[in-house]
A and B are shown apart, each in its own frame.
Chain A
Amino acid sequence: MRIERELMRGAGPLAVMQLLAAGERYGYELVQRLDADSGGVLAMGQSTLYPMLYNLEAKGLITSRNLETSSGRVRKYYRLTKAGQKQLAEDRAKWGQLVEAMHKLGVTRLAGV
């Protein structure tokens, strides 16, 4: 199941920041983790991942640096800034409230059983 674009617009940055909470990651790695860790639900068009990263960077929530791999290639790695960590904590709390509210409204699959 793929998430609708509108939903993804809110969930995508949160998901990316959540993945970066564990440490530095590069673009393709994020693509893979989003796909794998969300069971394909949060798999996003790669064309939208990089603009999303640039936007988070522009907001000061993540930062990047170029690192050279052992094979001599240069990769750009992203990690959360302090502001990003704070934002992530807030967004996670909001997200939890949202899920809880959805539960109460019976929007969740369990409620429908």
Chain B
Amino acid sequence: MAQERSIQQTSGAETQRANDARRDREAIAASGLPDELKSLITDVVKRTRLRRRERLSVAQELIGHFEDATDAGVSPDRAKKSFGDPKLAARLIRRAKLRQRGMLYRVMVVARSLALVLLVIYLIAAIRYFTGKPTIRTDYLALMNQRITATPESERAWPIYRNALLKVTPALRSDTANGSDPANGFILGLDSNLLADLSDGVPASRGQPASPAWPAVRKWVEMNRETINEFAGGASKPGLGFVIGQGGSFDDPEMFGFDPKSPRSKADRPLWEQVLPQLTWLRGIAHVLRADALVALEDGDAARVVVRIEQMVQLARQVREGGFLVNDLVGIGIYSLAIDLVDQSLDPARLKAFSESELARIAHAIAGPQQASDLVNLEGERDLFMDMVQRSFTDDGEGDGRLTPAAWDELSRIRGTMSSAMGESDPWALNVLKRAAGPIAMLASPTRRQVVSFYDRYQQAWKASMMSPLREGAGASLLREFKAERRDPIHSTRYALIYAISPSFGRLQVAPERAIAQRDALHVVIAAELDRRRHGDWPATLEVLVPGLLPRVPVDPWTGGPMAYRVGEAGPVVYSVGPDLDDDQGRRPVNADSTSHLRHEQLVMIDHPQIDPVPTAGAIDASGSTSREPGPKPDADWVLFPAIRHAPELTVREDAYWQRVMRIENRTASTELGPGGVDAE
């Protein structure tokens, strides 16, 4: 027994240090063992492929073993024979020693293996990713231009607008007004101060005084009659004709400036960028026409008011020409602006200025749209998306493919256009990191077919929804599915890129329905006025107007039943019973103010949660003034006529799809079209 022998115990640390100081081979060589045993120990130790310290420990133990055997009188040959197979010994010793290594070692082994597997996967993915090349098979630009150039050149409004805008005194153009160089490549619009005045300026009506901006607006209108008439001439044309691409309408340095930092032609810009620049100008023109109509209204020039209403509605149609979502939103905004103008024209104090035929013309001008889809033309939107897809994915010829480095280039083009304009650029290292992340993104992101399928399902769901009123819920279940998918973190991560470039259609449903409901109310008022002129009194019910003056009683957007109507002290009141579905005799909600329309939209969210803009859920009004949190349903009605007078302002909504545009335009004209859709209230 160890204790019985007169041996001296060394401290563990001391022994360890001694061990560390010597290599196993030195220890074996220093032993007094015969060469054949030394050779055996060396062979076993070497075969174990253990760490230096472990090998030394094994060597020392085996040296001791054979020294003990020698001391016992065993011959080297017999000791060697008794030891057994050195290969087997080495293998078993290695296995046993590895088991002794502890948890950290095991974790590291697993981690190393995992890292190796991941590295192999990454390398394979990297080869696939970096060798992937997109194939441009479809000329979407030509497809889009086909629709745009369907209108003969002589019937196009843009050339007229362009000439008129170029003649507008430089002080009214925001480039010079802001002191910026028109050659800086920014897309500019009417001077923001002018636009603010045009938006805010309203004459006295319904017992309220004119707004403070009104005198300035009136003066401006009187001084710019020639320009206004030119705009009006354009707004009488059937089509817009804003041609995209090389030699197109945006490829126009005189009009849109030239970016010295980007010597490419503007026609080389991403398609989405080429379909937007005219919008800020067209919005400005809509405001100019409206301002002129308001001046005419104050002056009692009913004929000019009617013409301007017709022109504004036509301008709204022109804007929708390309079939792009933003264009649609601006078109809806301009249509709403026209509706607002009609509302002001039907002020009892002004109404008498309009002849029966003029009232009928107004009614006809704003007639037409019956559902959201009538004010929405998304034809070009899919082309825009598909163009990005074909520039970002490979194409196997059967509609499928994988993400390529070109996808980053596409995104960079989007960002880069802004970055270069704004003097931003990513650090070199970050760019390298982004490139290196490409293969991982390729593995994680859906394939080309999945991307297109997702987009098509999404757009189809919205189209189905827009084909009927919200209350009927067509497409609601599909949209709820999208919303649920969006909440799934794995899905939202995989489709992150798609969400980043997919538009939000929610606004396209709500804003048109609101405008149509208001338009229906105006039709009721015009019919009631015509009836009053014939019979002396306001009609008691709407049924008496059908079918002579109204084809049918308009529908309450909340109930689907007849729109509510009563005669108040100042004339007819036309209203929807609102989300509480209870007729409160046209009582407005408490605190009803200029945001009442937005309140209506919030109320829509209560009953139609699918409207929450998918996929960019969580979009909010940039102003922050309108929370998307729905409040309780008010015990009140949604009064459609008379509307509360308020300045038609732009409501800019933040939206991932538009942020890229927003960044450019915010810098130049804060009141111009924001990339979140525009709504003239």
Contact = CB atoms under 8 A, between A and B. Distances in A.
A28 B92 contact: no
A76 B64 CA distance: 8
Contacts of A26: 2, 64, 68
Contacts of B96: 50-55, 58
Given A23-B3, A51-B96, A76-B64, A67 B84 contact: no
Contacts of A27: 61, 64-65, 68
Contacts of B2: 23-26, 67, 77
Contacts of A28: 64-65, 68-69, 72
Nearest to A27: B65
A70 to B, nearest CB: 5
A29 B5 CA distance: 13
A5 to B, nearest CB: 11
A66 B10 contact: yes
Nearest to A79: B2
B88 interface: yes
B76 interface: no
Contacts of A46: 65, 82-84, 89
Nearest to B83: A46
B93 interface: yes
Interface string A25-51: 111110110000000000001111011
A86 interface: no
Contact of B84 (A47, A52, A57, A70): A47
B15 interface: yes
Contacts of A68: 7-10
A18 B149 CA distance: 98
Interface string B589-624: 000000000000000000000000000000000000
B208 interface: no
B100 interface: yes
B96 to A, nearest CB: 3
A66 B61 CA distance: 10
B64 A73 contact: yes
B1 A23 contact: yes
Contacts of B58: 50
Given A47-B89, A51-B92, A70 B68 contact: no
B68 A51 contact: no
Contact of A50 (B6, B69, B89): B89
Given A29-B68, A48-B88, A70 B3 contact: no
B60 A57 contact: no
B413 interface: no
B36 to A, nearest CB: 15
B99 A55 contact: yes
A65 B3 CA distance: 13
Contacts of B85: 45, 47
A11 interface: no
Nearest to A66: B15
A74 interface: yes
Contacts of A70: 5-8
B12 interface: yes
Interface string B1-44: 11101111110100100000000000000000000000000001
B197 interface: no
Nearest to A53: B96
B88 A57 contact: no
Nearest to B8: A68
Interface string B555-597: 0000000000000000000000000000000000000000000
A62 to B, nearest CB: 12
Contacts of B65: 27-28, 31, 46, 50
B89 A48 contact: yes
Nearest to B57: A76
B665 interface: no
B53 interface: no
Nearest to A59: B99
A65 to B, nearest CB: 7
Contact of B99 (A31, A58, A73): A58
B413 to A, nearest CB: 60
Contacts of A51: 89, 92-93, 95-96
B98 to A, nearest CB: 9
A28 to B, nearest CB: 4
B10 A45 contact: no
B97 interface: yes
A112 to B, nearest CB: 33
B5 A69 contact: yes
A70 B95 CA distance: 33
Contacts of A69: 5, 7
A28 B6 CA distance: 18
B62 interface: yes
Contacts of A65: 9, 12
Nearest to B86: A47
Contacts of B88: 45, 47-48
B637 interface: no
Nearest to B96: A54
Nearest to A45: B84
Nearest to A48: B92
Given A25-B2, A31-B65, 17 more contacts: A23-B2, A27-B68, A32-B72, A45-B84, A46-B83, A47-B44, A51-B89, A51-B92, A55-B96, A58-B99, A66-B12, A67-B7, A67-B9, A68-B10, A70-B5, A70-B6, A76-B60
12 contacts: A29-B68, A48-B89, A54-B97, A55-B99, A67-B7, A67-B10, A68-B10, A69-B7, A70-B8, A75-B64, A76-B61, A76-B64
**Shortest Cβ-Cβ A-B pairs, 5 listed:** A47-B89, A51-B92, A54-B96, A45-B84, A47-B84
